[in-house]
Structure 1
Amino acid sequence: MSDIQDYAGTVYGGLGHLLLEFYHHKQLPVPEKLLQIQELERFDFVIWRDLLTQLQQKLQTPALGLEIANFVQPRHLGIMAYLALSCETLGEAMMRYHDYHRLVYDGSPLEVRVENDYLSIAWVDVPLNLATQLSDEIAMALMLKFVRSIMALGDIALHEVHFRYPANKHLNLYEQFFHCKVRFNQQKSVIFMHVSELAQPLRQGDQTLQKLLQQQAKALLEKLPNTAQIDHRIQQAILSGLQKNMFQIEHVAKQLHWSVRQLQRHLQKQGKTYQQRMQEIRFMLAQQYLKDDNLSLHEIALLLGYSEQSAFQRAFKQWTNRTPQQWRSEFLANADREPAFIPALEMATSNQYHI
């Protein structure tokens, strides 16, 4: 486990080539760090973030990520781009992007949902201490710019684009690029489009080639360290610890065969402390337990590792601004009125999404 204890994600080497071409276009002196990564198949996301920040400080250009994205070519995105090129519809390309986006950047999951006739593509779980406005906007702009280049008819009609960063005075540049309403200060960075857009045809489709490319992509994906699996193991260790009343960081680290410092550093790269992660899991469990009206609040408090019911009630009030009993009553009252909602991307053989 020591080889991935500090794993924070990597990006495809082609993005380094893209940045180098942008430097040449601007006739700027190339940083030594950018030259050093030109022969690498992948490099650390932190290096990518630092190179972007350095360029931003040098140029002081608004919406720089959108400008860089204008230079994107298939070679910069690797097999992910060639998979998209082999697809017949936008929906099929989005499905492939969802499945294999980690080949471009493998540091966080991509959240794709369908709700109220809109498809949302969100970049989530990138710690705020690692990501920047520029790294978020270039990830979104690269995907959109490339897909636009392979559309058979017209453009993608986006509904809205959200960024989780403060608004700036250059909103018009973002709305000109995305051709839709752009909002800042949102919960996460998301692209929204109507599901009808997914039926749009692409210029060229080759199902035989796509099958071969998928085999290659799967083989590449298996080589990447899977942070999601690591986080799942941490969650399971905390869950097990709560059940045994041995949920202190020392016990959880021991279950993972890590040192306390290794566990702390892994969580730190996600912008969290161990206490915050444990409280997140407690909150998740508390909601599940409260849905079962056979469990008393005293029993739930014990299941969550609290010595007293009052301590659980105080914690829950901090999480939700409601008491556990108020939350339970509201849930039971609204249980029959919750809207249906697709947590992941699905596609039928006709290339239409199930809703």
Structure 2
Amino acid sequence: MFPSPGSSTERGREQAPTAVAVLTRLAAAQLSAQGIDPEPRMIEAGLSPSLLDNPDERVPVRRQIAFLNIAADELGDDLLGFHLAQSFDLRALGFVHYIMASAETLAEALAYQELYGVFANEALKIREGSGEGVSLELSYVGVERHLDRHQAEFWLTTTLRQCRLFTGRELVPTSASMVHSRPGRVAEMERYFGLQIDFGAELDLLAFARDTKELPLTTGDHFLKELLAGLHRKAFPYSAGEAGSLRTRVENAIMPRLRHGTPKVEAIARDLGTSARTLTRRLADLGISFSEVLDELRYQLAVQYLRDGTSTVSQVTWLLGYREPSASVRAFKRWTGKTPTAFRRELKRGAGR
């Protein structure tokens, strides 16, 4: 049987990046509001319940993602990150929110998010787009993108809220996309964003039209901006480096390519700015191969998709990059000893216990 995700066979992982625990606390509060004790769920995700009472305690991003998945299941809320982003007090984000609000234009606000966002979440590399309009792209560093859904939806929804608040306008993006898949339309989210969201895309992206780039912010404050930037330089006289293992970077490069079929090592190497030979050698130094990384990633995604219950077996086959159902069946039997249909039944029985 294939080793389970999180097992000791996952080699090449480095120290996990951390984040301010705002999202963890919001999810815990939502559980409590529904009469569900969050502490056992936090412990299950590897989190200490003490962080609920310590506003300065940071949380490992991978564990925060695990807790969000557990909380969403407990609450029966498949859009938990999106829902939390709509209702919380944006000021809870602290420094990053205030320095964005102090900017003079929308483009400058997003540039500040790119510059300072890493201090709020070390796993999220934020890049302000360079096109004619203004846009924001997310990429994951040190955390496997395929594990996440709620955090990405929370971050992009929160950014849209901030853009609307700062400009005093009900801005509608020209495009919005997310790397994770959601079969079918997500009407509630699309009503909020004002457009159809492209799931299963190659980028986590929020983009606005050209005429929004120089929109003035109603919250702009030059003196506050200079004060905050100066305080931040004194408090953090270093630059947060890019954490993250080679294996994680390879997985994150593979994921958006899967919907196009089985990715080749040559294509992934190009995405990472190296050669196939160098990538193969560096993975070998970690005791793993490209095919092993691809195979285990497919297994983890398969379990995730089948547990969600929103995708048919044929859709899961396509999402994993298989173009023939027989190839998917052979892979499942190798991983689990069962067909995809039988494995899904087993997951459902386990959930009902």
Q: TM-score range by the shorter chain?
A: 0.5 to 0.7
Q: For structure 1, which runs of at least 5 residues remain unmatched after alignment? A: 232-265, 288-300, 307-355
Please tell me whether residue 67 in structure 1 is matched to residue 49 in structure 2: no
Give 2:134's aligned amino acid. Answer: L
Structure-1 separation of matches of 2:148 and 2:280: 37
Structure-1 separation of matches of 2:246 and 2:34: 38
Q: Deviations over 1:125-149 (max 9, x none)?
A: 3454664122211121122223323
Please tell me whether residue 37 in structure 1 is matched to residue 70 in structure 2: no
Structure-1 separation of matches of 2:159 and 2:140: 18
With over 3 angstroms needed to count, the CA separation of the structure-2 counterparts of 1:199 and 1:24, relative to structure 1, is: farther
Q: Is the CA contact 1:15–1:77 (under 8 Å) kept in the aligned structure 2?
A: no
Structure-1 separation of matches of 2:272 and 2:102: 44
5 Å-filtered alignment, 1:194-209, equals 194-209=209-224
- The count of corresponding residues between Structure 1 and Structure 2 is 249
What is the SS of the residue equivalent to 1:120?
A: strand
Shift of 1:119: 2.9
Please tell me whether residue 280 in structure 1 is matched to residue 269 in structure 2: yes
With over 3 angstroms needed to count, the CA separation of the structure-2 counterparts of 1:114 and 1:223, relative to structure 1, is: closer
Query: For structure 1, which segment, 62-71 or 31-40, has the greater mean C-alpha deviation from structure 2 after superposition?
Result: 31-40
Structure-2 separation of matches of 1:90 and 1:16: 28
Please tell me whether residue 268 in structure 1 is matched to residue 247 in structure 2: yes
What is the SS of the residue equivalent to 1:22?
A: helix
Per the normalisation by structure 1, the TM-score is 0.60
Q: Percent identity?
A: 16
Which of 128, 137, 156 is the aligned partner of 2:153?
137
Shift of 1:8: 2.5
Structure-2 separation of matches of 1:304 and 1:80: 36
Q: Deviations over 1:229-251 (max 9, x none)?
A: xx7xxxxxxxxxxxxxxxxxxxx
Structure-1 separation of matches of 2:213 and 2:271: 38
Q: Is the CA contact 2:118–2:240 (under 8 Å) kept in the aligned structure 1?
A: no
Name the residue aligned to 1:57. Answer: 73
Which of 218, 222, 226 is the aligned partner of 2:233?
218
Q: Deviations over 1:38-75 (max 9, x none)?
A: 21432110121011011111122232211110222233
Q: Is the CA contact 1:282–1:304 (under 8 Å) kept in the aligned structure 2?
A: no
Q: Is the CA contact 1:9–1:107 (under 8 Å) kept in the aligned structure 2?
A: yes
Shift of 1:123: 1.0
What is the SS of the residue equivalent to 1:123?
A: strand
Name the residue aligned to 2:7. Answer: none
Name the residue aligned to 1:98. Answer: 114
Q: Is the CA contact 1:158–1:191 (under 8 Å) kept in the aligned structure 2?
A: yes
Give 1:20's aligned amino acid. Answer: A
What is the SS of the residue equivalent to 1:270?
A: helix
Which of 87, 94, 97 is the aligned partner of 1:81?
97
5 Å-filtered alignment, 1:163-174, equals 163-174=178-189
With over 3 angstroms needed to count, the CA separation of the structure-2 counterparts of 1:267 and 1:85, relative to structure 1, is: same
Per the normalisation by structure 2, the TM-score is 0.61
Q: Deviations over 1:62-94 (max 9, x none)?
A: 322111102222332110011122223222211
Shift of 1:178: 0.9
Q: For structure 2, which runs of at least 5 residues remain unmatched after alignment? A: 1-12, 253-263, 282-353
Q: Is the CA contact 1:87–1:207 (under 8 Å) kept in the aligned structure 2?
A: yes
Shift of 1:182: 0.8
Name the residue aligned to 1:123. Answer: 138
Structure-2 separation of matches of 1:27 and 1:7: 34
Please tell me whether residue 148 in structure 1 is matched to residue 164 in structure 2: yes
With over 3 angstroms needed to count, the CA separation of the structure-2 counterparts of 1:210 and 1:129, relative to structure 1, is: closer
Q: Deviations over 1:12-61 (max 9, x none)?
A: 13333333333344443222436322214321101210110111111222
Shift of 1:121: 1.3
Please tell me whether residue 190 in structure 1 is matched to residue 205 in structure 2: yes
Larger-Rg structure: 1
